[in-house]
Homo-oligomer: A and B are copies of this chain.
């Protein structure tokens, strides 16, 4: 696998853009952030932005997936097995992520963000299910992944609504046996 590595300038520029976007998100709402704002903060040319991203929504999507992936890296996401510990880890990541980002700075864009998060979760769960059952092309695995992604995401929304009286772990733990026996392994 000779994957000719990407130019360091590309990695640096993408990081500058993403970091600037995250930083701006802490001051303004998403709808008030322009491409010019981002490129000014990142000290790069506006044309360069379009060299890397289709538009500002493309950037949002990529930032969200990146943050999620980083939150899940180094934990059992690499283990590729669905188990109680893994689900709790993922749930914690989503819950904390929501609490830190989408909560405060993207009023009016929760739907978009929710869709992106669910899409990411779906991919992750589908990969894990494949590793566990290795029946490639099985449509039921995809459906299962869809349900898991909606379920976990929805739980994080409800957790946010109820807290801060309970931790993510405590909130999700009771439901896991049902998930494990009924859906995933049934």
A interface list, Cβ under 8 A from B: 8, 11-12, 15-16, 43-45
Residue of B nearest to A39 (CB): B8
Cβ–Cβ < 8 Å partners of A16 in chain B: 12
Bound Cα distance from A16 to B43, whole angstroms: 11
Cβ–Cβ < 8 Å partners of A45 in chain B: 8
Q: How far is the CB of A46 from chain B (nearest CB, A)?
A: 11
Bound Cα distance from A45 to B8, whole angstroms: 8
Cβ–Cβ < 8 Å partners of A15 in chain B: 43
Bound Cα distance from A44 to B8, whole angstroms: 7
Cβ–Cβ < 8 Å partners of A44 in chain B: 8, 12
Q: Which of A12, A16, A45 counts the most B-chain CB atoms under 10 A from its CB? A: A12
Residue of B nearest to A42 (CB): B12
